[in-house]
Amino acid sequence: MQKEEIADLQIRFGVHLRKIREDKGLSLREVADRCDLDNSNISKIENGQFNIQLSKIFELAKGLGVSAKDLLDF
């Protein structure tokens, strides 16, 4: 994959993650607490500035009460 393709995926994933979080009425802090992640990292993910690891996707899914598939369906 080219850098541009990776950056596009990061942005699309982040936009989708933010929508799920907001639809559930959760703040960055609430998600961070549920996932044992720093809220600044979640913000970076939502803004496409952070290439998230697969294990973190599963942590986020658990914290949001959705499946990993739901997070990746963008």
Domain boundary assignment for the chain: 3-72
The dihedral sign for the CA sequence 47, 34, 70, 22: negative
Closest CA to 51 of 64, 61, 60, 41: 41
pLDDT of residue 11: 96
Rounded to two decimals, what is the model's pTM? 0.89
Chain centroid, CA 55 distance in Å: 12
Q: What is the largest CA-CA distance in the chain?
A: 35
Which CATH number does 3-72 carry? 1.10.260.40
Q: Left (φ > 0), alpha (ψ -120 to 50) or beta: where does 70 sit?
A: alpha
Average pLDDT rounded to a whole number, residues 39-62: 93
